[in-house]
Amino acid sequence: MNSAFFPLAVFFAAVFINNILLANYLGMCSFLSVSRELKTSVGLGAAVTFVMATTSLLNWLVYHYILLPLGLDYLRFIVFIVVIAAFVQLVEMIIERVSETLYAALGIFLPLITVNCAILGVCLFMVIREYDLLSSFTFGLGSGIGWFLAILAMAGIRLKLARARVPRGLEGAGITLIITGMMALAFMGFTGMIRL
């Protein structure tokens, strides 16, 4: 577990094998509602990747330097959420100030993902699995990219789906959930490549 390649292994595992969306089914709500268009999916995917990578770093520091020494690790749920919310808010304000292009492409999605359970999930997994700082970062980055990959694939499928005849009762979220399930099955093919 302590090899130099471990952070890299964690990264690939997070992207493909333990994909946060397809293996853990986290972050479904924004996945279902935003995957309708390719362009918005890219924006949201990028935003999720950025926030996961940065907040996993931030929350690792908060957990190991504030919560653990004070014996407050049982409060990590609430603390992680507060840190994520404040950080996302701050980043949105900065982006809005600095670059309009970036704001239109990415910033507008930030408030959407403040409450995304995948973000909190990543922070909790890294604590449970006792990753070090670097591995936590690669885990966050990998999970974000994995989520990005999943929503991108779904947006592509839904583009084709627009011209398919979907049974009326399954239109929208219904068919999307079924397809997500099939994608999850496909991703199960990666199982066992890396043991974590």
Smallest separation, CB 100 to another protein (Å) = 4
* d(C-alpha 83, C-alpha 89), whole Å: 10
Q: Give the type of residue at 118.
A: A
Count of residues near another protein by CB under 8 A? 26
DSSP 17: I
Smallest separation, CB 93 to another protein (Å) = 5
* d(C-alpha 143, C-alpha 140), whole Å: 5
Smallest separation, CB 67 to another protein (Å) = 8
For residue 129, what are its two tokens? 């699995």
Task: Name residues whose C-beta falls within 8 Å of residue 96's C-beta, 6 or more positions apart in sequence.
Answer: 103, 107
Evaluate whether 56 touches 122 at the Cβ level (below 8 Å): yes
- Asked if residue 185 binds another protein (CB under 8 A), the reply is no
- Asked if residue 191 binds another protein (CB under 8 A), the reply is no
Among 66, 102, 166, 188, binds another protein (CB under 8 A): 66
Which window, 15-23, 69-77, 131-139, 186-194, contacts another protein (CB under 8 A)? Answer: 69-77
* d(C-alpha 192, C-alpha 124), whole Å: 22
Which residue ranges make up the site for another protein (CB under 8 A)? 39-40, 43, 62, 66-67, 70-72, 75, 78-79, 82-83, 86, 89-90, 93-94, 96-97, 100-101, 103-104, 108
